Structure formats: C-alpha cells, structure tokens
Amino acid sequence: MIIVMKSHAEPKDIEAVVQRVEELGYKVHLSRGEARTIIGVIGADEYLIQNSTFEVMDGVERTMRVMQPYKLASRDFSATDTVINVNGVQIGGRKIVVMAGPCSVESREMILETAHAVKAAGATVLRGGAFKPRSSPYSFQGLGEEGLKFLAEAREQTGLPIITEVMSPEDIALVGDYTDIFQVGARNTQNYSLLKALGKQNKPVFLKRGISGTIQELLMSAEYILSGGNMQVMVCERGIRTYETATRNTFDINAIPVLKETCHLPVIADPAHGTGMWQYVGAVSKAAVAAGADGLMLEVHPDPARAWSDGAQSLTFDRFGKLMQELRLVAQAVGREI
C-alpha cells in the first residue's frame, strides 16, 4: 500500500504516519519527491486497506493500493527514474551507460588490454566474468578470485567501475571485496536465497531476466532485493528462449518500453546474449537505445575466434568502436547521450 502525503504535509505528520505503520508491524519505504512524500508500506496489503485509518491522519492526502504484485519496483512507488551512482557513473540518467568487456576474464593481459580498448571507445563500466555459469560442467568455469584481482587491476588502471557475476550467496563476500556491481545471471534470476542475500548488500545489483522468465517474474525477483533494503537494482533484458532457432535467444525489444513504463529501475539491454551472434549485436543495440534502454551490456574480446566463452557474440575492438559511433547518433535522436 502507498500513503500519499499532502504537498504541505509537515515532517511531524510524516513521522506520525511512519510510527503508526511500524506499530502495525510493517516496514516503511519513504520516497521524498519534489512535490510530496510517498510512504510505501511493505507487507500484506489486505489487512491495511480494510482496517487502516491513515486517511484521517494529519497531512495524509490518500492511500492507494499497488495493484501489481511487485511494489517497491513499481512506478506507483516512485514516479521518477531511479539513478544509481557507481563511482561517479550515473546509471539511469540521461546518459546511456555502456558496460563492455569479455564474457570471461581469461588472463591478466587480455582484461587489461580490453579495459583500455573499451574505455578509449567510450564505455563507462568494465564487464568480465570470473565465476561463470556454464551450461556444461566441462566448459571453462572462470578464473575465480584470480579473475577478480585482474578486474580490480583493470579498474585501477582505467578508472572504470567493474561488474562481475556472483553465482551463490557464499561467494557474495568474496565477489563484493572486488566488484562495484553484482551481476545476477539469467540462470540465477530466481535463485531466491541469492536475491535475499543481495538485498542485504550495500552495492548495486544488475539483475538479468531469466532464460524463460516473464517480465513480471523479473520484477518479482527485483522485488526480493528491494524488499531486503537494497534499492540499487537495475534490470536487464538479455533475450529469452522461444521456438525461434535462427539466433541463440530472442531479444525481447518489447521488454524495454514495458519495463520503462512499469518500473522506475534502470533498464539495461544485453544484445550479445540476446542474439548470440556478433553480426546482429549492432542492430539490436541501436534498437534498444531507440526503444529507451538506459544502458547496454556488450561483450568485447581482443580475438573473438579464440575466446574461451561466447566468442560468437563478441565484438572485436574495431567493431565495438564503430558501433559506439553509431550509437551516439541514435542516442542523440532520442534525446539521450552516450
């Protein structure tokens, strides 16, 4: 439930409402907008709606039931876009963020070389997997902590914040010692113990849509993290499994405007996993920016033919540089910048 305060509500009125909510045993999420404060009541709606007397309290304009099953993620909770600041990089603002780097960190040299190349082309966040969720147990599983150390060195050299995947709650402390953003992969979107643990972290979380997940399921997963107290969540469309086999996944372009309309979290597009083929990554990246995405995640590799994972969907430095130039024009056309 949401309690909308009057625009002239006084701090003591807000405090009294918060106290009453807490007395009833619910948690509060305060959203202080320019015009008015909105008090989100976290917990079961039904009882409150039927029995609450909030509307007679001073400073209260009205109470509203949030119709969607996701509450904190919904636009009702926050009409303004959430902007996440990662070491000075704003995610969710007018400037489109480009997170680029290899699928997997393969060696110190390759991540350093890639970091410098993507930075020179205009990327503002460095990606790279150290713990890899591979479909086969026989495939390369990532360098683990060594990979995290190489990423941290690349950050030191370039100043780019880093994003890397965390696969289980037990790894959060270790990955959190190095990363600036926790990535939750498509195979873990509904790993609720991982999501709950990330809800207790004080670092942004990049949450991918599940391989066969609906948009609502993605937002419910975001809700797990938000309801734990971590409001720094961004959601990512990375393609879903459909009957189509021409590409690895089917990038759901619809998800971008749907997510932008229904939630206030930054929305990122991942055309690399969304297509699985570098030939299509550029077109889908441009489409995603035109559709309103707040950022892109792209896989870039010094030599995709020799990549240890996802080479087929990785861009060379040269192709990435060219795409960045094209993206600038698209961004400009829709009132954004890169």
| Binding stretches for ligand PEP (CB under 6 A) | 103, 129, 133, 185-187, 208, 238, 273
Chain centroid offset of residue 170 CA: 21
Longest CA span, the chain: 68
27-32: strand order across its sheet: 27-32, 37-42, 2-5, 60-64
Partner from ligand PEP, Mn ion, none contacting 40, C-beta within 5 to 8 A by type: none
Minimum distance from CB of 310 to ligand PEP (Å)? 6
If the CB atoms of residues 2 and 130 are measured against ligand PEP, the closer one turns out to be 130
Minimum distance from CB of 317 to Mn ion (Å)? 17
Q: Going by C-beta distance under 8 Å and a sequence separation of 6 or more, which residues neighbour residue 109?
A: none
Partner from Mn ion, ligand PEP, none contacting 186, C-beta within 5 to 8 A by type: ligand PEP
- Give the pair of three-digit tokens for residue 30: 């305060």
If the CB atoms of residues 3 and 284 are measured against ligand PEP, the closer one turns out to be 284
If the CB atoms of residues 68 and 316 are measured against ligand PEP, the closer one turns out to be 316
Question: Which range of residues in 101-109, 118-126, 234-242, 315-323 is near Mn ion by CB under 5 A?
Answer: 101-109
Partner from ligand PEP, Mn ion, none contacting 185, C-beta within 5 to 8 A by type: ligand PEP
Contact pick of 9, 17, 100, 103 for Mn ion (by CB under 5 A):
103
φ, ψ (nearest 5 deg) of residue 284 = -70, -35
The helix, strand and coil proportions of the chain, stated in percent and rounded to the nearest 5, come to 40, 20, 40
How far apart CA 272 and CA 206 sit, in angstroms, is 16
Minimum distance from CB of 208 to ligand PEP (Å)? 5
253 binds Mn ion (CB under 5 A): no
How far apart CA 227 and CA 231 sit, in angstroms, is 8
Say if CB 270 and CB 237 are below 8 A apart.
yes
If the CB atoms of residues 273 and 286 are measured against Mn ion, the closer one turns out to be 273
Q: Look up residue 260 and give its amino acid.
A: K
If the CB atoms of residues 189 and 230 are measured against ligand PEP, the closer one turns out to be 189
